[in-house]
Chains A and B, each alone.
Chain A
Amino acid sequence: MMGGDFTWLGPNPGIHGWAMATAAVVSASCALVGSLLVVRRMSLLGDAIGHAVLPGIAVAVLAGGRLGGPLVFFGAVAAALLTVWLTQALRAAGGPAEDAGAGVVFTTLFAIGVVIVAMAPAGTHLDAACVLHGELAFLPFDTITLAGLPVPRAFASGVVAFLGLAVAAAATWKLQVFTAFDAAAARAAGLPVAALTMGLLAATAIATVSSFDAVGAVLVVAMLVTPAAAAELLTRRLHRMVLVAIVLAVVGACLGYLAAWRLNTSAAGMIAVVLGIEYAIAAVIAPDDGLLARLAGRISLAWRVTCEDRLAEAWRAEEAKRPHAPAATLIESCGAWWLSRTGQIVRAADGPRLSPSGRREAETVVRSHRLWEAWLGRHAELPVDHLHPPAEWVEHHLGAAMRQRLEAETGGRDSDPHGREIPPEA
């Protein structure tokens, strides 16, 4: 049932509201599980399970289960565990390593699932298109009655799945974090790593199947991995990452649904697209690693280095009683201008001179430089005339505490290997 998802629905807020709520809750489940998958570098296994649960679901539906019912959940989990077991058994039996083995297993299982679905008697609540991209817009019509209210079955089962997953995650949280960070150490510490991993994979299957009739088998990977990867860029703490991922997932699901309604196309597809856009935005604006942040960091470092170099040059010119070398490049000129604006260099009749604050700053830089030369000369085998270039760039990265250590480790000498005096700490 490709296309025309929405044309016949009309602007019915009740229906759309339920559909959006269903999308949001299944998306949240996927984001919760996906955070752990991403952190443990198991994203492709999540993709594999997303595909491989199909035969489990198909068999369960043929056996009389209903989508969203317990038999189907059970079938999906069984299929997921079968996938993992087969992949590991293949590798243990000397079969294909790593990705190749998983690739063999999940494509085969998916193919089996498609064939089962295709050969199912007509009227079964599954068809090939549904498998690939779900039918979110039709879900609100399949309702069950809860406390007198007609509630879409998919929404109810989605909420149950999410609550169950949240409880399981909270109960095992510390173990999950430890294992995600360092599985080998966790195993050595006696934690039940294998059980945790199996639990995570079962959780993936549950999240997958709760999303299945909303977005189908292939797009569930977008909901599992994309919000979690975006959240990973935005924060480095795992518990915050999960929360951010869930928020991104819910927002993405709602916006995606609305966009699909507006554009009259597949809701599942648009949700995946919106999640991708969220990821791209996160990649640009992320605080430490985002593109903007990196650019800003590079510019600010180059600026600081230039200003410090100008100050140090002025100081050395004074020490050697030679003229101050003029600014050669554009950025040096800008640096020189800024230094005179902040009063660290003042223009005098006989050329630029350091103000007291400028002198302090310059002496810090030169001190760093010469301390590093002294340390390097002592601890490494380098000819004396090769000490200057390394110190040229290290001088910008030394702080007060480090300078103190260097002074201690070089025996408190007050001259560098060239015999020049090391200025005292300001």
Chain B
Amino acid sequence: MILVGIAYNTLVVAAGVAAVGFAAGVVGALCVLRKRALVGDAAAHATLVGVACSFLITGRRDLATLLAGALVAAFVGLGTLVLMRRFTRTRDDAATAIVIGVSFGLGIALVSGLPAWGYAESAGLEQFLLGHTAGLTASDAALLAGVAVLAVAAVAAGLKEATLVAFDAAFAAASGWPVAVIDYLLVALVAVMVVAGLPAVGAVLVTALVVIPPVTARYWTERVGSMLVLSGCLGLAAAVVGVAVSAGRPGLATGPLVVLAAAAFFTVSFLFAPRRGWIAQRLAAARMSREWLQDRAEHARDPGGMPPAMFPDGEPHP
């Protein structure tokens, strides 16, 4: 009886984490298309402060409370970035690095200090650094899955607007779309996904969950819709594989395993994808130069004929 209960719990947790992986892949794909791949990193490192403060203020350690604090901290971190861009000369890359380093330092300082300050039960907060799914309950997983579903629904609703802004923001703005608002919404969505990914992957590595699956998916498709879906599936697969492997080895944090799974998918795609993969491109280049040389040879034999066709559609490429 107990064994069945344990297995059920593991399955539910895996389903919850899988949902988060899927949603993170989808949201991350929009971010990568919008060329803002690392915006989640600043949010992610700030979440630790939120988790610690949430615990300090409320004294509760349930996932919903801690993640709520994490979300607030993520928004504060992103807000700090906006303020720095507006009021200082510091450039974006340095500002992002500062927010990452200082907020993470504050988070570490808070979490490290808890035992010394008399909080005996604080030890669990460290799990948010590199991810640890073993402690998740079924209701936690349900919460995460709910957030994931909402995020995907939001993307589906606003896909047309997000694609328009990602492809040509100037045209979108001139057509009257509120580009800044759409961008803020996207960043907010990334912050939500980063927070939802904390239990599985941890603050330090969760940014990989929103960056690696989209980048991988790009190798397999030339349409936005399928790229998003494929990215979601890859995120889901990486999350499931990572959780499964870490379940077998309790000493190992989940986060690195999820990242390694995603990286494995990336490497395979990078090498073997048809048309965009590295091998396919080498072969295509070799074939094109072979054909060109053949054309040249034929032209040399028959000078009165047409000059060799350099480009298939008759016009020079940009």
Contacts and interface: CB of A to CB of B under 8 A. Distances in A.
Interface of A: 2-7, 38, 41-44, 46-47, 51, 90, 93-104, 107-108, 110-112, 114-115, 118-119, 128-129, 132-133, 218-219, 221-226, 228-229, 232-233, 260, 263-266, 268-273, 275-276, 279, 283, 289, 291
Question: Number of contact residues on B: which range applies?
Answer: 35 or more
Interface stretch (B11-19, B89-97, B310-318): B89-97
Is chain A's binding surface mostly helix, strand, loop or mixed?
helix
Contacts of B93: 41-44
Interface string B106-123: 111111111111000011
B117 A222 contact: no
Contacts of B61: none
Contact of B256 (A42, A111, A132, A232): A111
Given A96-B218, A98-B35, A266-B108, A283 B88 contact: yes
Given A7-B116, A96-B32, A108 B208 contact: yes
B251 interface: yes
A279 B94 CA distance: 12
A289 to B, nearest CB: 5
Given A107-B207, A276-B102, A133 B112 contact: yes
Interface string B22-63: 000000000010010110010001000000000000000000
Interface of B: 32, 35, 37-38, 41, 45, 84, 87-91, 93-98, 100-102, 104-117, 122-123, 126, 129-130, 204-205, 207-208, 211-212, 214-215, 218, 251-253, 255-257, 259-260, 263, 266, 270, 276, 278, 281
B208 A266 contact: no
15 contacts: A3-B111, A3-B114, A6-B116, A7-B116, A41-B94, A43-B97, A51-B204, A219-B108, A224-B101, A225-B101, A229-B95, A260-B109, A269-B106, A273-B105, A276-B98
Contact of A276 (B38, B105, B211, B263): B105
A273 B102 contact: yes
B101 A272 contact: yes
B178 to A, nearest CB: 25
B241 to A, nearest CB: 13
Contacts of B251: 118
Nearest to B113: A265
- Indicate the member of A94, A263, A265 with the most B CB atoms within 10 Å: A265
